[in-house]
Structure 1
Amino acid sequence: MGNVSSVKKKKIDKINRNNYRVNRWFKWLSPGLFVKRWLLLSASGFCLAVLGGAIWVKLTPIYRLLGLVSRSLEFLTTVVPHYISGPFVLIFGAFLVLWGQSRTVGSITNAINPNGDEELVDMLLARRRLNRGPKIVAIGGGTGLSTLLRGLKQYSNNITAIVTVADDGGSSGRLRREIGVLPPGDIRNCLAALADEEKLLTELFQYRFEAGAGLSGHSFGNLFLTAMSEITGDLEQAVTASSQVLAIRGTVLPATLSDVSLWAEMEDGRLVEGESNIPLAKGKIRNIGCLPANPPALPAAIAAIEEADYIIIGPGSLYTSIIPNFLVPEIAAAISQVKVPRIYVCNIMTQPGETEEYSVADHIQAIDRICPQKLFDAVLVHRKAPSPELLQRYAEENSHPVYIDRETITKLGRRVVIANIMDEKGSINSIRHDSSQLARVLLRWYSGKWQPKF
């Protein structure tokens, strides 16, 4: 019985392997790869080349070849009936063509992808699909934007991330003060999120030196972008060059090349200067702005917004990651004028020092106060409450789930899209958006398959 089972298993494995090979061959005939037309063109070119050679030598080989073929076919049909010999020769010829193409593709695959973890046809199909993806502009900063980009890159290569450059804390702040470069921290995170080798690149870019009087506390990614800025002349060129070196999917752009510094007016009358100082002020923010006021936008960022199919704002810290982009008036004006789907991804939890006791409508109104023009049509909010343990832990830091006040949101002229977009696996230690689920919901809403609930 054991031998019989083993024989059956071998037969099944052989059938599965044959089916896999056949499916792999037929994938090359999938629409959008532009392979069929080139195969036909190659075959036609080969025939024409043979014919040209024959004409060059006065057609003598053609006559001999036709005579040989004619005698061979006549002999074959007298021995084997035409209704058997014809299909046999046709099938045998097709087999040789497919076998030859398969071996050719296998050689190319081994050269391009020596690890062999993905077929060349699958790589080409995925690349074609991503290249045909919508032109998405994502606006924000901090870890929220990089989380979003990590999911979006699975749906499109046509992504432009517009990032705030108001950071003045940590390694970015030190480089800004000591060298005079624009803060590279948020841009570094976005570049790592859009890279193909994301895990390794993220670890490399986030690596912080722990020794050395000058290096201690700096991340490798910040130093890399700072060096590129010095070499290329400015941050825009540095990001472009870095994107090519790292082979990222999409484009990362600073909102402005001006040396912007944030200020916030608190309800008790205090004036707090510096992005890193605003959350530490422990007060309610009445107004926010920047110095210099009304900085010029990066022209490439405006062009990306005008050509976009879809605009996504957030997630991220409301006053220090989202709104600073809209303090560049040209960016806010460009977003308000485009006639494409626009959505704001609201945070799951309130943020101490910025949005304490804020509801979803409060987040929307804060943006509306800065930008009187309507910048988005819908707001995406999380549905399911975090675990009681996490809620207790966050409550100790005066952070709570953002309340969904639907009636007020509707009065503000926004649609409410409610979905489970929290990272359930990573929610044991912290509350974060799930990059894959977040991108999936956003693309569903964009395509119209998602039916928003009011």
Structure 2
Amino acid sequence: MTPQTRHAEIVALGGGHGLAASLSALRLLSEHLTAVVTVADDGGSSGRLRADYEVLPPGDLRMALTALCDDTEWGHTWSELLQHRFTGEGTLAGHAVGNLLIVALWQLHDDPVTGLDLVGRLLQARGRVLPMAAVPLRLQAEVSGLRPDDPDRRETILGQVEIARTTGVVESISLIPQAPPAHPEAVTAVRDADHVVLGPGSWYTSVLTHLLVPELRRALVETRAHKTLTLNLELSTSETPGFSAVRHLETLHALAPDLVVDTVLVDRATVEDEATLAAACRGLGAELVVAQLAQREQPGHHDTLRLAAAYRDILD
């Protein structure tokens, strides 16, 4: 790793476990790391808190913060506490401690980023966490294949949870409200970045959502940063059944034809036809990078050091 990479401004966009994986790797490379996190979660603890208090869903923000925690006993102790969920059947059952802490700090401070920064200081986090939008969002998808007698019929599904578990095929996705305000600091971070990393993560509900926020999409298109798209270790999921790597690129281009990507990073095990995939990458203006990114013992989980090595080779 070069000193240039160590001091590079890197912005990673996504949500959930995918973003946590990229942050865990990128924090080993740069001292200037910012996470821009989707805020459309409506399930579990996050869904209950956003409904009860009309706040941004804190869960994905919490996961990003814990992925950035300092690699010390202090950092690991607080990270474990923030991830802890209450058990039992009481009113706190299922809530993550970190979600409650974040919402409490939001009640004490007008700006949600102030609360996130305070949690970051508690964790001695190696970077910042920002919400992608200034208001909580709701996802809406047009889905086909739900009716065996009429497989081409499209129906509307509301909510991230329902979209993630649909048995149909997601044809398009949108946000409610349709043109939400981006968080200003997230837009600034993208515009000022040296490198931008998009993905991995749930394709429709964690990755493509960033391109549905007009100011953030404009920043992603216009930034002079090197842009890397990281595809998932498992391409065919409940959101993307039967999707190949090429199909992922096609849906990205259909949603944001003006977005130029510099590098597409994929796990070796997901590549069926490297020549075809490389040609699809060139259609986005991108170079294809194929590497082994998964753990040997758990193929569906990223190996942090391997992912960090792949990013290092791209960013150096």
Report if TM-score (shorter chain) is over 0.5: yes
Partner of 1:410: 282
Match among 171, 188, 213 for residue 328 of structure 1 = 213
1:212 Cα deviation from its structure 2 partner: 5.0
Deviation of 1:132 after TM superposition, in Å, equals 4.7
Aligned to 1:392: none
Residues 356 and 403 from structure 1, CA distance in 2 versus in 1: closer, same or farther, beyond 3 angstroms? Answer: farther
Aligned-pair CA distance for 1:403: 4.3
**CA deviation profile, 1:123-153 (whole Å, cap 9, x unmatched):** xxxxxx6995211010111101111111211
CA distance in 2 between partners of 1:333 and 1:229 (Å): 28
Could you say which residue in structure 2 is the equivalent of 1:213?
Answer: 90
Whether 2:55 is the aligned partner of 1:172: answer no
TM normalised by structure 1 equals 0.63
Amino acid at match of 2:203: L
CA distance in 1, matches of 2:205, 2:23: 19
1:424 to 279, 296, 299: 296
**Match for residue 187 of structure 1?**
61
CA shift digits 1:146-192 (9 cap, x unpaired)? 11111211121100100000000111011111221110111101111
Residue 11 of structure 2: which of 108, 124, 137 is its match? 137
User: 1:247, CA displacement in angstroms?
Assistant: 1.9
Q: Is the 1:130–1:155 contact (alpha carbons within 8 Å) kept by the matching residues of 2?
A: no
Q: How much identity, in percent, do the aligned residues show?
A: 36
Q: How far off its partner does 1:351 sit?
A: 4.2
How far, CA to CA, are the matches of 1:238 and 1:375 in structure 2?
A: 34
Specify the alignment match of 1:91 in structure 2. Answer: none
Q: Is the 8 A contact 2:260 2:286 kept in 1?
A: no
Q: Which residue of 1 aligns with 2:147?
A: none
Deviations 1:74-114 (A, max 9, x none): xxxxxxxxxxxxxxxxxxxxxxxxxxxxxxxxxxxxxxxxx
Whether 1:223 and 2:100 are equivalent positions in the alignment is yes
Q: Which runs of 4+ in 1 moved over 6 A?
A: none
Q: Match for 1:281: what amino acid?
A: T
**Is the CA contact 2:228–2:261 (under 8 Å) kept in the aligned structure 1?**
yes
CA distance in 2, matches of 1:131, 1:155: 7
Give the structure 2 partner of residue 354 of structure 1: 239
Residue of structure 2 in register with 1:72 after alignment: none
Q: List runs of 5+ in structure 2 lacking aligned partners.
A: 145-152
Structure 2 residue 143 is the aligned partner of structure 1 residue 266: yes
Equivalent pairs, count: 302
1:230-269 superposed matches below 5 A: 230-267=107-144, 268-269=153-154
SS at match of 1:281: coil
In 1, the alpha carbon distance for the partners of 2:5 and 2:163 equals: 40
How far 1:241 moved relative to its partner? 2.0
Q: Deviations over 1:275-314 (max 9, x none)?
A: 0100222111111001001111111111111111111111
Do the aligned partners of 1:167 and 1:275 also contact (CA within 8 Å) in 2? yes
Check whether the contact 2:79–2:123 (CA below 8 A) recurs between aligned residues.
no
Counterpart position of 1:92: none
The residue type paired with residue 377 of structure 1 is D
How far apart, CA to CA, are the structure 2 residues paired with 1:279 and 1:154? 31
Query: What's the counterpart of residue 317 of structure 1?
Result: 202
Alpha-carbon distance, 1:246 to partner: 2.4
1:441 alignment partner in structure 2 = 310
Tell me the secondary structure at the aligned position of residue 162 of structure 2: coil
Whether the 8 Å contact between 1:130 and 1:154 is mirrored in structure 2 is no
User: What one-letter code is carried by the residue in structure 1 that aligns with 2:291?
Assistant: A
What stretches of structure 1 of length at least 5 have no aligned partner? 1-128, 386-400, 448-454
SS at match of 1:354: coil
Q: Is the 8 A contact 2:261 2:284 kept in 1?
A: no
Give the Cα–Cα distance (whole angstroms) in 1 for the partners of residues 256 and 86 of structure 2: 40
Counterpart residue number, 2:252:
367
CA deviation map 1:208-247 (0-9, x unaligned): 1113521011111111111111111242221122222322
Aligned alpha-carbon RMSD (Å): 2.1
Contact 2:5 2:315 in 1 (8 A): no
Higher relative contact order (CA 8 A, sep 6+): 2
Distance 2:302 2:24 in 1: 11
Counterpart of 1:277 in 2: which secondary structure?
A: helix
Of 290-299 and 238-247, more deviation after overlay is shown by 238-247
Amino acid at match of 1:381: V
State how far apart, in whole Å, the 2-side matches of 1:340 and 1:350 are: 26
2:229 to 324, 344, 350: 344
Greater helix proportion: 1
Q: Measure the CA separation in 2 of the matches of 1:304 and 1:275.
A: 26
Q: Distance in 1 between matches of 2:178 and 2:162?
A: 19
The one-letter amino acid paired with 1:307 is D
Bigger Rg over Cα = 1
Greater strand share, structure number: 2
Q: Judging changes above 3 Å, is the alpha-carbon distance between structure 1 residues 130 and 212 closer, same or farther for their aligned structure 2 residues?
A: farther
